[in-house]
Homo-oligomer: A and B are copies of this chain.
Amino acid sequence: MTRALTVSIDAMGGDAGPAVVVSALLKTIQRHSAVNFILHGDQVELNPLVARQPKLQGRVTVRHAPGRVTMDDKPSHVLRRGKDTSMWHTIDCVKQGDADVAISAGNTGALMAVSMFGLGIIKGISRPAIAVIWPTLKGQTIVLDVGANVEATDEMLVDFAVMGEAFAHVIFGLDKPTVGILNVGAEEQKGNDGVRGAAQILRNSNLPMAFQGFVEGDDIAKGTVDVVVTDGFTGNIALKTAEGTARLVGSYLRSALKRSFMSKLGAVIASGALQTLRRKLDPRAQNGGVFLGLNGVVVKSHGGADAVGFASALDMAIDMARADINARITTDRSRITAESAGARTGEL
């Protein structure tokens, strides 16, 4: 008998503490009946929170971890001294095979370090990346890396393309996702060595993706491709710039609608539509970055997420746990390696 799908949760990770995690669980447990949860953290805090919720009985287990990673802890410090933390226990639980996916709202750098140390990197992949799902005019696009690596070589960008394509396959159900590399122009000669080199490798590869060459910043929200590949520096800044812009436009709209009696009246009458817009722009609905490239799946929730936000990250974690993304990453990456070995032999 196999156990039910299980999610390992760092209950102490977010800014708001474990109460938010438990509130999120109450939502998630209704949406996913066949999933169990293991909460890692201080049992003195966690046990009463869970005991108060009859719906969680039998579905949620608390495992004690006395330590806690703070947002200021350096990753190297956590690697050396963090073995008793809820974050460490959360990842270790996946490593031991007790859970299928790990989730934390804690310190991103520490979570990546602990995940890499605990789970290891998929054979053939140079570095893991963080992927997010980005709302677009056409639906949704995957963007990676949004912060794991401040620099990326051509081979790393190729790895990200493979991981993004596999992600689009398992999450969007696309057989041959379209993939583009983020650049300052669409022409072949544009950009730096990294993006040009990666484009060259992908153009010559025979993968289950439709490689579209370079895309520009505005192509992300247009939904020009299913997967946008970039280094973690550019991707992180693009993601936060987009968040800032969406808030700016929202603020313009609110102040425009408050300016006169007529505009206030119009806003009241159209309040249903404005509510829909607000929901659509709610960053909590898209919460959750996925660490790809590890021997195990790890989801990072935003540190400031409330229960709604953490529940969407949990949805993402459950979707990821159900999908066998790593099999596809391994196959596709080894295909590229074999192809370029073949190409090199051919050149001799």
* Residue in chain B with minimal CB distance to A265: B269
- When the two chains form the complex, which single residue of B237, B248, B251, B277 contacts A217, counting CB atoms closer than 8 Å? B237
Instruction: Decide yes or no: A274 and B251 within 8 Å by CB, A192-B233, A217-B238, A244-B221 being known contacts.
Output: no
Q: List 14 A-B contacts (CB under 8 A).
A: A135-B248, A150-B191, A191-B233, A218-B243, A237-B237, A238-B238, A241-B245, A245-B245, A256-B277, A260-B273, A262-B270, A263-B272, A266-B270, A267-B270
Chain A residues close to B by CB (< 8 Å)? 74, 135-137, 147, 150-151, 182-184, 189-192, 216-222, 230, 232-234, 236-253, 256-257, 259-260, 262-263, 265-274, 276-277, 280-281
Most chain B CB within 10 A, of A250, A251, A270, A277, is at A270
- When the two chains form the complex, which single residue of B151, B250, B263, B280 contacts A270, counting CB atoms closer than 8 Å? B263
Q: A239 — which chain B residues lie within 8 A by C-beta?
A: 217
Cβ A244 vs Cβ B266 within 8 A: no
* Residue in chain B with minimal CB distance to A264: B270
Copies held by the complex: 2
Q: A251 — which chain B residues lie within 8 A by C-beta?
A: 137
Cβ B252 vs Cβ A281 within 8 A: yes
Q: A250 — which chain B residues lie within 8 A by C-beta?
A: 249
Cβ A274 vs Cβ B248 within 8 A: no
A58 to B238 Cα, complex, angstroms: 47
Least CB distance, A184 to chain B, in whole angstroms = 4
Instruction: Decide yes or no: A151 and B241 within 8 Å by CB, A269-B262, A272-B260, A273-B259 being known contacts.
Output: no
